[in-house]
Amino acid sequence: MTSPLATEAAPFGRVLTAMVTPFTPNGELDLDAAQKVATHLIDQGNDGLVISGTTGESPTTTVAEDGRLLAAVVEAVGDRATVVAGVGTNDTAHSVALAQQARTVGADGLLIVTPYYSKPPQSGIVAHVNTVAGAGDDLPVMLYDIPGRSGVMLTPQTYVELRKNPLVLSVKDAVGDFNRGAWLMRETGITIYSGDDSLNLGWLAYGACGIVSVVAHAAPRQLADMVTAVDRGDLVAARALHDQLLPIDRAMMTVTQGVITAKAVLQILGVLDHRTTRAPLPEATEDEIAMLRDALAVAGLLN
């Protein structure tokens, strides 16, 4: 059950949203809302979703909740998109359990973030990724290199080592060094997905195969159109779309954790009834709602 647009060049699709995990007002999983969000994003141009990542508030969800959420999204999406399960944690055994569950439930791939807080050496990271990948059986792997959260950046030699594993195909890059990324693509053959919305256009111009976006909660169709414009070599059109989205991009990133603004945007757009988050993350304030509404209007994203 993979997206028809998932290819060797773009193993997980082209335009993926790092999807929020909807909760009811009392903080329980809202699986109906999750299916509604997933369907909305696919209908508007996504060909992939990342579930239970940072924007999915995965540090606050249990293994059982992750499994229920994943099953609901897989059911809603069917064969219209790739569903990538976030299974990376700072505990290898925990990640193994998540990877095994993802394989059983029907995910199309795994997202494995660099183990955070404990700051393992590169050899430990390699062992962690290979162990978790093995637990997912034959599911392809997207690494997540985000030193701002994990505290550790993957070294070029680590990429060389990890690429020896035939399951490790891609990386969601939140390092933001285009020259480094170009070298990694050239020397290791890894495919890169932009993991920073402000750099989406730059990464695509450098040869990234796609994006994993938070801003796509607000503008899934526009981001899909930008990828298509780059594909056909129309950088004028791609830049115009990039410029159009700058107001909402900046607005959504004014709050440290994008899930807060992503849920607020979905509520403003009528996709979600609630913007509930789990502690320690607060939900968006009324001032933030007003700021986001203004940015959506300026970007032409309000009906």
Which residues are identified as catalytic?
144, 172
Looking up tokens 């994003």, which residue turns up? Answer: 41
DSSP secondary structure of 22-57: -B-TTS-B-HHHHHHHHHHHHHTT-SEEEESSTTTT
Taking residue 187's Cβ as centre, other Cβ atoms within 10 Å add up to: 12
Q: Which tokens is 45 given? A: 């141009």
DSSP secondary structure of 108-142: SEEEEEPPPSS---HHHHHHHHHHHHHHTTT--EE
Centroid of chain to Cα 147: 16
Q: Are 98 and 91 in contact (CB under 8 A)?
A: no
Amino acid at 64: A
Distance CA 39, CA 78 (A): 10
